[in-house]
Amino acid sequence: MKARPLSIEGAWEFTPVQHGDDRGVFLEAFKADVLAEAIGDRFELAQVNTSVSAAGVVRGIHFADVPPGQAKYVTCTVGAIVDVIVDIREGSPTFGQWDTVLLDDRDRRAVYLAEGLGHGFCSLQDGSTVTYLCSTGYRPSAEHGVNPLDDDLGIEWPTLARDGTPLEYELSVKDTAAPSLVQALADGLLPSFTGSGTGEAPV
């Protein structure tokens, strides 16, 4: 498995080695030692989530209160998504910046994002199935969001589905009503850069 740091501190891409023959394919989708070596810490698994999305569905940008925050290891087992990691950490040198990785059932990559980072994705085909390994359990009162279509954030969401047809975005009511990044900052919702996946104590 190959590890590649993304442009946002605390975010990584992992590409597995696939072993295929006439029967199909085998791969190691998650390796704790490879992840620990990359991020410099042990990933504590507390919950595994799965979502299935139609083409054009946008989920996110989601994040959890820090502490404790919620680190995620995300892969797409069926279909394809454009996965987006956003630096929403107040005081970060890359605050407001984002990076993307294509996760699909061909290359079978995964992404890791540390506590305090924002996460979302756009499905590129019907039935795209995403699995999230999470370091903490879901706590509704600690979950927040930033509007994924925030003009100032300027995420370049894909415009075409995997089959080349135009995408029509579909968001949940909650994600549609989520504040802009600037508003979330003004409202005190965003985590601090110090301690958000940086190896320092959270503040």
User: Active-site residues: which are they?
Assistant: 62, 132
Per DSSP, what are the bridge partners of residue 145? Answer: 62
Residue 182's CB: how many other CB atoms inside 10 A? 13
Query: Which contiguous run of DSSP H or E holds residue 37?
Result: helix 32-39
Residue 140's CB: how many other CB atoms inside 10 A? 5
HEC string of 63-124? Answer: EECCCCCCCEEEEEEECEEEEEEECCCECCCCCCCEEEEEEECCCCCEEEECCCCEEEEEEC
Task: State the Cα–Cα distance between residues 136 and 17, nearest whole angstrom.
Answer: 28
